[in-house]
Amino acid sequence: MPGFELFDHAEREQLQDVMDTGILMRYGFNGLRKGHWKAKEMEAAIARTAGVRHALLLSSGTAALTTALAAMGVGAGDEVILPPFTFVASFESILATGAVPVMADIDDTLCLDPQAVRRAITPRTKVVMPVHMCGAMAQVDELLDICRQHGLFLLEDACQAFGASFQGKMLGSIGDAGCYSFDFNKIITCGEGGAVVTNDHTLLQRADQYHDHGHDHTNDDRGAEGHPFIGYNYRISELHAAIGCAQISKLARFVDIHRKHKQTLKESLADLPDIAFRRLPDPDGDSATFLSLFMPSEDLARRASNALKKAGIDGVFHWYDNNWHYIRKWEHLKARAFAHPLYKPLLDLLPDYATVAFPQSDDIIARTLSIAIKMGWSDDDVHRRATTIKHSLQNTLRTPASR
C-alpha cells in the first residue's frame, strides 16, 4: 500500500528542485524560489483529481480534520458524530476544537450505519463525520441526505481513501468538505501531509487562514498581512509537497495495481463457505488498499489472524485487538486522560466512553480481518500469498475451538 514502495527518480527530481533553491516555506520568497511552488502545484493536482474547486495542503490528515472542523465553526459544546472504528486522529481532531465526539455504530460496510447516525443526532449536533475505512466507502449518499434533512455539515474523513470513489465521485468530494492523509503509510505519501478539499469558497478561505496562524494571504509581505482570527500552524513544507507532487502523478497506476492484486486474493477466497467480504456500496470505486473479510466468530477471527502471521503473511489486522483503531482499546479516551487543562470544561459534556455500548460494531469488528495489499508484490508473490491465505483460513475453519 504505501506510496513509498514505488519511489523513483520522479520524487528525487521534485526534491532536487527544492534543494536547489533552498526555499522550504510554501509562502513568500518569490524571487528566490525560481518559480517552484510545490504546495500550490500539489493542491492543484489534488483539486483536479478529486474534482473539487479547492484543495488546501497541510502538515497531516489530523491537521486537515481539525482545520476543516474549525472552518465549519465547530467549537465548545458542539457534537460531531463519528464511528467507533477509525484511527484515533478522528476523535482527537474533534476534541481539539473543544467539541464532543459522539460515536454511532458501524455496519457491514465497516463505516457509519446511517440508521445509527439518525439515532445519535441531538440539538447540539453540528457535523457528521463518516470515516471511509481501509480504502473504501461509507454509504455517503444516505449520510448526505441525513445531513441535508437536519442542517448538518458532512465532513468526510477520507484519510485512508484517497483515490477511492462513490458513483464516480471521489471520496472526500461529496460532503461539504473532505480530508485526506498523505502520511508515511498512505497510498500516496508526502512523508507527512494531509489535505482539505471543498467546493465552498468560504470554508476554503477559513481553513486557509486557520492553518497558517490566521494569515489572510493577501499580501506578498507576510509581515504586512492581516489576521482576521486566531489560527495555528498546520502548514506543509515544500519538501513534503515536492514528494507529493511526484506521488500524485502516479495515483491512477497505484490504484490499478492494488485492484489487480486484491482481485486475485478475493477470487482465491471466494469459495470459502464461512467467509463473507466487507460490503462495498460501490465496488467499482474501491481503492483496494485492503481486503476485509468477516469470519464466523471472534474466536475464529483471532485464530485465523494468528495462523496467517505464523504462515508468514504480514499486514493482517484483527482490529478488535488493535490499540489504535477501535474503541474497545481506547483506554486513554475512556479514562479522559487529557494532557492539557484546556480540556477541563469538556469533561462534563463528554459521554462516558467507558460504559457506552456498541454491540453491532463489536459483533462486526470482532469478526473482521483486513489484509493490506502491497504494490511491490510480483504476480507470483500474490498467487503464492493467495494459496497460503486460503490454506490457513481453511485449516482454521476446520479446527474446533479449544476449550
Ligand X SMILES: Cc1ncc(COP(=O)(O)O)c(C=O)c1O
CB 333 within 8 A of CB 347: no
CA–CA separation, 73 and 49 (whole Å): 27
Q: Answer yes or no whether residue 247 interacts with ligand X by CB under 6 A.
A: no
Residues 131, 293, 333, 382: which binds ligand X (CB under 6 A)?
131
Helix 298-310 with 379-398: angle, nearest 10 deg? 140
Stretch that binds ligand X, among 156-164, 168-176, 252-260, 372-380 (CB under 6 A): 156-164
Residues 55, 56, 136, 159: which binds ligand X (CB under 6 A)?
159
- CB neighbour burial string for 85-100, b if at least 16 within 10 angstroms, e if fewer: bbbbbbbebbbbbbbb
Minimum Å gap between C-beta 30 and ligand X is 29
User: Which element (helix H / strand E) includes 290?
Assistant: strand 290-294
Which residue do the cell numbers 457528521 mark? 128
Q: Answer yes or no whether residue 139 interacts with ligand X by CB under 6 A.
A: no
The reply to whether 329 belongs to the active site is no
Stretch that binds ligand X, among 83-91, 113-121, 293-301, 376-384 (CB under 6 A): 83-91
Residues 14, 66, 67, 86: which binds ligand X (CB under 6 A)?
86
Minimum Å gap between C-beta 171 and ligand X is 11
Long-range Cβ pairs for the range 13-18 (8 Å, 24+): 13/246, 14/38, 14/242, 14/243, 14/245, 14/246, 15/239, 15/242, 15/243, 17/242, 18/238, 18/239, 18/242
Catalytic residue among 40, 126, 169, 186: 186
Minimum Å gap between C-beta 182 and ligand X is 7
CA–CA separation, 63 and 201 (whole Å): 19
CB 74 within 8 A of CB 65: no
* CA angle, 4 then 133 then 79, to 5°: 125
Minimum Å gap between C-beta 290 and ligand X is 11
The C-alpha cell of 141 is what? 449518499
CA–CA separation, 162 and 8 (whole Å): 21
Closer of 78 and 183 to ligand X (Cβ): 183
The C-alpha cell of 359 is what? 454491540
Minimum Å gap between C-beta 274 and ligand X is 29
Closer of 236 and 369 to ligand X (Cβ): 236
Site map for ligand X, 11-50, x if CB under 6 A? ----------------------------------------
CB 365 within 8 A of CB 320: yes
DSSP 96: H
Site map for ligand X, 173-212, x if CB under 6 A? --------x-x----------x------------------
Stretch that binds ligand X, among 56-64, 243-251, 287-295, 378-386 (CB under 6 A): 56-64
Measured at CB, which residue is nearest to ligand X? 61
Minimum Å gap between C-beta 359 and ligand X is 23
CB 133 within 8 A of CB 86: yes
Closer of 304 and 365 to ligand X (Cβ): 365
Q: Answer yes or no whether residue 87 interacts with ligand X by CB under 6 A.
A: yes
The residues that are catalytic are 186
**Site residues (vs ligand X, CB under 6 A):** 60-62, 86-87, 89-90, 131, 157, 159-160, 181, 183, 194
